[in-house]
Amino acid sequence: MAEKLLKTFNVRHLQVLDDTGKADSRLMPRLSARQLVELYGLMVLCRRFDEKALSLQRQGRLGTYASVLGQEASQIGAAYALGKADWVFPTYRDASILIVRKQPMVRVLQYFGGDERGSIPAEGVNNFPISIPVGTQGLHAVGAGMAATVQKKKFAALACFGDGATSEGDMNEAFNFAGVFKAPVIFLCQNNQYAISVPVKRQTAAETIAQKAIAFGFEGIQVDGNDVLAVYSATAAALKKAYAGKGPTLIECLTYRIQNHTTSDDASKYRSAAEVELWKKKDPVARMRKFLERKKLWDNRKEAELAAKVERQVSEAVSEYEAVPKPEVDDIFKYQYEELPGFLRRQMDDYKNLVEGK
């Protein structure tokens, strides 16, 4: 009898840009100057959209909204790396992912404005509707990935979730199925450190979320979630692996939710202003701008032009959103089944007779 060491594991952390926007040239992803500028442009657009959505909510022009503020790098870096045929399974806090994935902003607003038509993806883009029950959509991503394998098609699935979701049974079942079936899936965990008020140390005793992948037999990596280039790089690598049939990857984006959980929450009850200030200094959008300035790809004039452009785009989306006619009563009934069953037709007709009779 002897005791021996069977396995040891390491967990990597990746950062390409430091807080001052200085890049580690050895770790730079292959992105052209045009792409780097485009990435930054998307970050500015998504941030402006987010601010606008919050302000619309405060004015009573939008329903409950979950702000992305502070998490733009995690969302935009990952979404930017995906191919058109890939699938995305988003949560309620993934508006930036959706926008990068060609979801018209007007539809994102429609969704949070209480209209299911906001979940209809742009033609030819596989954005699944937002999932509200936490951690349940990871399994759908794995199933979509398994479907790619069965159909011998080249696409992968991005499962979006947060630190809180890693406590859910379904999420752990998703990791397990993905590992066993080597499914082409990217698990994108935005560890924003709070599930509403509960800090990540109450979700897990593990030091990182990335290391959870090891137990399920695949690779996990932690990245600086406020570094868009690190997130892009890790996602691009995971995607390449997925396409090659080498299975899933868990990417933990270490980031921070600057805003309240949703517009119905008050985060000052459970975290200090000092902590929030600390994270504001790590702002992902400012960091990318500093990087572009260092590379001489950006200046104040370009910034002003960009600001004016996104302002126009967002304003147009808002005008369009507010001009969308209300959905019809029929829409409540029409999409329950492929064909409207008799019992539902009766309920619909009875109700419409009542409403229209008035």
Partner 1 sequence: MVEMNLIQAVNSGLKCAMEGDASVVVLGEDVGMDGGVFRATEGLLKKFGPARVMDTPLAESGIVGVAIGMAVAGLRPVPEIQFSGFLYMAYGQLVNHAARVRNRSRGKFTCPLVVRTPYSGGIRALEHHSESLEAIYAHVPGLKVVIPSSPYDAKGLLISAIKGNDPVVFMEPSRLYRAVKEEVPEGSYTVPIGKAKIVKEGSQITVISWGSMLQQTRLALNHTNVDVELIDLRTLKPLDVETIITSVKKTGRCVIVQEAPRTGGFASEIIALVNEQAIFSLKAPVARVTGFDTIFPLYKLEDHYLPSTERIINAIEATANY
Q: Which of 13, 58, 202, 270 is catalytic?
A: 270
Q: Does 338 bind partner 1 (CB under 8 A)?
A: yes
Q: Contact between 9 and partner 1 (CB under 8 A)? A: no
Establish whether 13 is a catalytic residue: no
Q: How far, in Å, CA of 227 to CA of 290, rounded?
A: 12
Residues 155-174 that bind partner 1 (CB under 8 A): 157, 169-170, 173-174
- The nearer residue to partner 1, 92 or 279, going by C-beta atoms, is 92
Query: Other C-beta atoms within 10 Å of 200: how many?
Result: 20
Q: Of the residues 257, 287, 289, 321, which is catalytic?
A: 257
Residue 33's Cβ-count burial label (10 Å; 0-12, 13-18, 19+) is exposed
Active site residue 194: no
**Furthest-apart CA pair in the chain: how many Å?**
86
Question: What is the closest distance, in whole angstroms, from the C-beta atom of residue 138 to partner 1 in the complex?
Answer: 8
Q: Minimum CB separation from partner 1 for residue 159, in Å?
A: 9
Among 23, 27, 31, 147, binds partner 1 (CB under 8 A): 147
Query: How near is the Cβ of 335 to partner 1 at its closest, in Å?
Result: 4
Among 158, 168, 177, which Cα is nearest to 253's?
Answer: 158
Closer of 141 and 292 to partner 1 (Cβ) = 141
Tell me: does residue 181 bind partner 1 (CB under 8 A): yes
Quick one: which segment of 21-29, 48-56, 93-101, 336-344 binds partner 1 (CB under 8 A)?
336-344
Q: Least distance from C-beta 139 to partner 1, angstroms? A: 3
CA atoms within 13 A on the CB side of 24: 12
Whether 167 and 130 have beta carbons less than 8 Å apart is answered as no
Of 47, 93, 261, 289, catalytic: 261
Q: Does 139 interact with partner 1 (rule: CB under 8 A)?
A: yes
Residue type, 319: S
Q: Toward partner 1, which CB reaches closer, 41 or 217?
A: 217
Least CB distance to partner 1 at residue 236 (A): 22
Residues 19-38 that bind partner 1 (CB under 8 A): none
Q: Does 151 bind partner 1 (CB under 8 A)?
A: yes
CA 112 to chain centre: 15
For position 141 contacting partner 1 by CB under 8 A, the verdict is yes
CB of 145 to partner 1, least distance (A): 7
Residue 11: left if φ>0, alpha if ψ -120 to 50, beta else—which one?
Answer: beta
* Site residues (CB under 8 A) for partner 1, limited to 66-125: 87, 89, 116-117, 119-121
Q: Does 320 bind partner 1 (CB under 8 A)?
A: no
Judged by CB under 8 A, which of 341, 349, 350, 351 binds partner 1? 341
Binding residues for partner 1, total number by CB under 8 A: 47
Q: What are phi and psi of 194, to 5 degrees?
A: -140, 135
**223 DSSP β-pair partners:** 14, 253
**Per CB under 8 A, does 148 bind partner 1?**
yes
Q: What is the nearest approach in angstroms of partner 1 to the Cβ of residue 341? A: 4
Binding site for partner 1 (CB under 8 A): 87, 89, 116-117, 119-121, 126, 128-129, 131, 133, 136-151, 157, 169-170, 173-174, 176-177, 180-181, 331, 334-338, 341-344
Catalytic residues: 257, 261, 270
